[in-house]
Structure 1
Amino acid sequence: MSKPKGKVIEGVFAINKPTSVSSAQVIRNLQHHFNPSALFAPWLAAERSNREFEERTHRNRRKDKRVQVKIGHGGTLDPMATGVLIMGVGKGTKRLQRFLECTKTYEATILFGAATDTYDILGKVLRRAEYRHVTREKVEKALGKFRGKVMQRPPVYSALRVQGKRLYEYAREGKEVPKEIEERPVEVKELEVVEWMKGGSHKYQIPKEEAENEEKDLVEKVLHLGEAVTPSINAVGDQSTNGVASTVTKRKRSLDDGDSVVPNKKSELWHDGESQCLMSGGLQSPDHSPKQIDVPSQKDSSPPVESPPAVKLRMTVTSGFYVRSLSHDLGKTLGSLACMCELVRTRQGDFELGENVIEYQNLEKGEDVWGPKVEELLAEWQSRNKGMDGVADRSDGERRRRRRNSSSDA
């Protein structure tokens, strides 16, 4: 596929990220396909020319001598999530900040009946709760609490920085966050039920892996819960003799400031992923304690308890919103527990699935398939933003000058 010599293509486009792939891996895969392509050969030639000039005027300026297509993303999707991932190429990477600040639309599936250390079904179960009282009508009524401008506490498994370190790094290392994770203002512009799934009518299941008691105690310490009543249920096969789940217990948080452990189940799954350990508010407080569920003993001939219901929600939210926190908080509001099963970002800014987003699987079909669409989207971007690159370059130069002046003043 030959391109006009010297035609440099760069800007912003979007790709439909599949599940089980990190945002960082998407960048690496795009570079794998873009680096040898005819479409980006002029960009690479221009970059090599710039590098040669830098080497002559600024010795040893660059440690990395590899020349690759410059790519960045505008808003991380963690491996579990799918959908719109904004990508910047070349000078387009300087324009990604606006996509971090724009509204986004998600479709999320939430399963009731349990809370996990990661707030999704990839984590370990920390608590189980009654769910038979949860209905579509009660969910729709509870959603009113989450619309508009609300306060939300970010999860421990998130990329938010505390004292220069990302929260998920504390979680992976099993260390307590040095300061309390504060709630932040976010806005939910739209929030509605797309589909209600009764127990037994869907494929989603509560994870089988349980967190150890020691892990649960340490999680409570991380969340600074103080004294709380936190009822839980045992897994089938570990019932009490009277056929009822384990009794309600009180756990008092230690006042020591020593290290504590946050579950690190997803250390191999998270790169710099979007999404506090029991995310926004953690385990149940006394006034929102989930009801216990009766688990039949082996001698009980009563029918088994119906599997938990699930709900799919569609929401349009502002920057900094965590869908996992909504999942957890919704379960708590309904007197149960909940975790997220699926997450799809259907729209971000001007990019929407099915409209102007590249399909990820087309990368493997070759440049003849993905090339024209990428070129079209980047050309549209360049046309809409003509003249703005110079403004971005001047802004970058001004920021560098301010940093140099600040350093000399110090």
Structure 2
Amino acid sequence: MPKVVANYPVSGLFGVVKPSGPTSMSVVHDLQQLIARSKLFVTADKLEEIKNRKPNNKRRGKQAREAIKVGQGGTLDPLADGVLVIGVGKGTKKLSDFLNCTKEYETTCLLGCDTDTYDSEGSKVQMAPWHHVTPELIKATLSQFTGEINQTPPIFSALKMDGKPLYEYARKGIPLPRPIEPRKVTVHSLELVEWKGNNHSYQWPEKSLSEDDKKAMEVTLKSLDQSVEIKDRPEIPSDDESPPAFVLRMRVSGGTYVRSIVHDLSRAIGSAGHVVTLSRTRQGRFVSTPTEEGDKACVPWEIFEKASATNGDEVDAEGWTEWEREVMERLEVVEERGSK
């Protein structure tokens, strides 16, 4: 029998399996539209007030924010899919716990080309050879990126220096006022789980930095390391050949840049590479597939998509929608704020 929360509305935490494509904030926004009309999270008087308001699409988002506070515990890039922890009501105060928690990822690296963003959403920067790369070479190099390491955030990141995002310096060719401060992170485990070789459909990005953009980026990078040179070392594939790809699985501390591990590892094996898929399979105790005691499963995004398409109006004999039932099955209650 599906679990039912005895006293509601409640504040709490639950995990969502975010799809690749939308931003984390758009996922939160879509969830908020459903949550703001749910007796599971919103008091009866507030629900009645919202129900009696005249429909107004421009005010819909504001009404949802007024009804209940919803947030997420660690942004995923649009490219990435996987576990996104959602906090509702007083549950949002617990979200900071998930910024520095242990996380697990699976990521696919495509060799032969690096990009400005270190992933397939960016533009090609330079090419490099790959024919010498083997699974054995990758495995032998992984130890360099395991344990406590100093990791320098990507130059194309939103981290700020003197109030300006790093990517602005790189795009405009402005020397950094000081080196990017490396951060200590812990890579608890790092393993090669699949060597795809050229048996895949991934391709390098069509976009490429212009020569002027490359020169600007090089100016910024040389302010950190004078030996940096943006120059192609191409290994052109034959018509029926694709550059190889491989899949890594890692368990890391909060603050670790998966894109940087892929980028730096690719350089360490004498090539270049970037992320083409990224899945977060664990964020603290919330996981895509429970494997350990205390793991909490997440709600598939399709459940919420279906609810949004029907305005969440289809309810069972006890007055609960499908998405509310799914959330209750996985909900970590922080506070019960009322009773039936």
- Asked if TM exceeds 0.5, the reply is yes
Going from structure 1 to structure 2, the CA distance change for 1:305 and 1:134 (only over 3 Å counts) comes to: farther
Distance 2:157 2:141 in 1: 25
What SS is found at the alignment partner of 1:381?
A: strand
CA contact (8 A) 1:118 1:157 kept: yes
CA contact (8 A) 2:173 2:217 kept: no
Query: Which of 347, 360, 363 is residue 282 of structure 2 equivalent to?
Result: 347
1:328 aligned onto 2:326: no
5+ long unaligned stretches in structure 1: 49-63, 234-291, 297-302, 387-410
Going from structure 1 to structure 2, the CA distance change for 1:100 and 1:43 (only over 3 Å counts) comes to: farther
Q: Give the CA deviation at 1:16.
A: 0.5
Correspondence for 2:334: 382
Q: Give the CA deviation at 1:222.
A: 1.5
CA contact (8 A) 2:87 2:94 kept: yes
Q: Give the CA deviation at 1:166.
A: 4.2
Taking only the aligned residue pairs, the percentage that are identical comes to: 41
Please tell me the residue identity of whatever aligns with 2:117: T
Please tell me the residue identity of whatever aligns with 2:261: L
1:307 aligned onto 2:227: no
Correspondence for 2:219: 221
Correspondence for 1:358: 299
Correspondence for 2:122: 123
Please tell me the residue identity of whatever aligns with 2:305: E
Q: Give the CA deviation at 1:81.
A: 0.4
What SS is found at the alignment partner of 1:67?
A: helix
Going from structure 1 to structure 2, the CA distance change for 1:151 and 1:4 (only over 3 Å counts) comes to: closer
Distance 2:34 2:205 in 1: 37
Distance 1:192 1:6 in 2: 45
Distance 1:371 1:349 in 2: 23
Please tell me the residue identity of whatever aligns with 2:221: L
Distance 1:230 1:11 in 2: 49
- Supply the RMSD in Å over aligned alpha carbons: 2.9
Q: Give the CA deviation at 1:227.
A: 4.2
CA contact (8 A) 2:218 2:230 kept: no
Going from structure 1 to structure 2, the CA distance change for 1:330 and 1:381 (only over 3 Å counts) comes to: same
Alpha-carbon deviations, 1:74-117, whole Å to 9, x = none? 11101000000011111011111111111000000001101111
What SS is found at the alignment partner of 1:138?
A: helix
CA contact (8 A) 1:15 1:360 kept: yes
Q: Give the CA deviation at 1:174.
A: 7.4
Distance 2:168 2:88 in 1: 28
Distance 1:226 1:179 in 2: 14
Q: Give the CA deviation at 1:8.
A: 2.0
Please tell me the residue identity of whatever aligns with 1:315: M
What SS is found at the alignment partner of 1:145?
A: helix
Distance 1:214 1:363 in 2: 45
What TM-score do the two structures reach when normalised by structure 1?
0.67
Distance 2:44 2:244 in 1: 52
Going from structure 1 to structure 2, the CA distance change for 1:17 and 1:172 (only over 3 Å counts) comes to: farther
Alpha-carbon deviations, 1:174-219, whole Å to 9, x = none? 76554321211111001111100112x1111112222111111111
Distance 1:182 1:43 in 2: 50
Q: Larger Rg: 1 or 2?
A: 1
Q: Give the CA deviation at 1:122.
A: 1.8
Q: Give the count of matched residue pairs.
A: 301
Range 364-373 or range 68-77, more displaced: 364-373
Distance 1:170 1:43 in 2: 51
Which structure dedicates a bigger proportion of its chain to strand?
Answer: 2
Distance 1:304 1:68 in 2: 58
Q: Give the CA deviation at 1:172.
A: 7.1
Please tell me the residue identity of whatever aligns with 1:22: T
Q: Give the CA deviation at 1:11.
A: 1.3
What SS is found at the alignment partner of 2:40?
A: coil
Please tell me the residue identity of whatever aligns with 1:335: G
Distance 2:168 2:34 in 1: 31
Distance 1:40 1:21 in 2: 24
What TM-score do the two structures reach when normalised by structure 2?
0.80
Correspondence for 1:135: 134
Distance 2:191 2:129 in 1: 24
Going from structure 1 to structure 2, the CA distance change for 1:358 and 1:171 (only over 3 Å counts) comes to: farther
